[in-house]
Amino acid sequence: MIALVAMAANTSTAAEPEARPGLLTIPVPSSIDGELQTCRLHVPDGDGPRPLLVFLHSWSADVAQDNSRWVDLALERGWIVLLPDFRGVNNRPEACGSRLARQDILDAIAWTIERHAVDRGRIYLAGTSGGGHMALLMAGHHPDRFSAVSAWASISDLQAWWEFTRRDVAWRRYADNLEAVLGGPPGPANFEELRDRSPVAHLSRAVDLPLDINAGEADGRTGSVPWRHSLNAFNVLRTARGEPTVGDELGPGEPDPLYERGVFLRATSGPARLTIFEGGHEDLPGAGVAFLEAVQRPTAW
C-alpha cells in the first residue's frame, strides 16, 4: 500500500535517521555568495550511472526534515538521493525561491554529478507543499536540468497564497513569513520579486518537461494550500501549448489503483499531467515515484 501521511505546509522537521547506510552529509558552497549549504546525500551500493532523485524540503523545514518515505522508495530502486538545503525555512529574503535558493539546488546537483555516477537522463525532482512550490519554480526557471518533476500540494502563486493565508488565523503565520521575505505586504515595490518566486510566472517555459502536478481536493479547506494552485499551474502549461484551460469542476471520484483512492480530476498537456485526488494536504510517494521512473529524458548537465 502507498504510504500516506497528511501534512500542513509546515511539515514536521523531525530529523531523518542518521544510521541509514550510505548517508553522507555534504557542505556545498553557493556559487553566488559562497555560503555553505549542508545537504544530505544517500548513495546506495552499485556500479554504473544511476538515477538521481532530488527531494526538496517543505516551507517551514530544512534539510533535517524526515522525508524517508520518498527516500526509501528511491533507494529500493537503487537511485541516488539528494536532499538539498536551499536556505532553510522560508522566512527571510535569502530563502523562499530566491535566486540564491534556486542556485543552491543546482550547485548541490552539480556537486553530486561531479563525484558520483549519475545517469544524466534520469535526474528527477520532487517536493510537497513548500517543496512542491520549489519544484514547480525550478521546473519553470530550469526545465532543461530535470528529466521529470513531481509536485504535490504546491503553492504556485505567492500573491494568491498570501491573500488566502492572511485571512485565516490558522495559516496567518505563512502570510507573515512572506512579508518577512518581501520586506512588507505584496505591492508595487516588491512585485517583480514576488513574480520571480511564483511558479505560475515561469511554467510556460516547461511545456516539454514531464511534469506531475497533484493535489488533494480537500486542501484549502482542511489544509493550507487550495488545490486550485495546482490547477492554475497546470493551466499555464495548457495556455502555453495553445490548448483550452481546464475548469475547476470536479468529477465523482473514479478509483485509481496507483493512488489507492478516488481521482476527481485528471488532465494532460503534452508530457504533463494533473491529478486532483481524494485527500487533503498530502503526498503519495508511490504514485510520484512511479511517474518519475517511467521517464528517461536528457538533461543539460
Q: What is the pLDDT of residues 141-167, one digit of tens each?
A: 999 999 999 999 999 999 999 999 999
Q: Cell match 540564491: residue?
A: 100
User: What pLDDT is stored for residue 159 in this prediction?
Assistant: 97
What single DSSP character describes residue 203?
Answer: G
pLDDT at 3 over 80: no
Q: What is the pLDDT of residues 181-237, one digit of tens each?
A: 999 999 999 999 999 999 999 999 999 999 999 999 999 999 999 999 999 999 999
User: What pLDDT is stored for residue 116 in this prediction?
Assistant: 96
Domain boundaries, the chain: 5-157+203-293
Q: Which CATH class is domain 5-157+203-293?
A: alpha beta
Q: What is the pLDDT of residues 46-64, one digit of tens each?
A: 889 999 999 999 999 999 9
User: What pLDDT is stored for residue 21 in this prediction?
Assistant: 61
Q: What is the pLDDT of residues 14-28, one digit of tens each?
A: 444 445 666 899 999
User: What pLDDT is stored for residue 23 in this prediction?
Assistant: 87
Q: Specify whether the CB–CB gap between 7 and 128 falls below 8 A.
A: yes
Q: Give the Cα separation of 172 and 120 in Å (integer).
A: 41
Determine what percent of the chain is predicted with pLDDT higher than 90: 91
What single DSSP character describes residue 160?
Answer: H
pLDDT at 9 over 90: no
Alpha helices by DSSP H, listed for the chain, are 68-76, 99-115, 130-141, 158-165, 172-182, 191-196, 228-240, 285-293
Q: What are phi and psi of 292, to 5 degrees?
A: -65, -45
Written as one string, the DSSP assignment of 206-236 is GTTS-EEEEEETTTTTTSSS-THHHHHHHHH
What average pLDDT does range 276-285 have in this prediction? 98
User: What pLDDT is stored for residue 20 in this prediction?
Assistant: 64
pLDDT at 270 over 60: yes
Question: How many beta carbons lie within 10 A of that of residue 52, not counting itself?
Answer: 27
pTM (global) more than 0.85:
yes
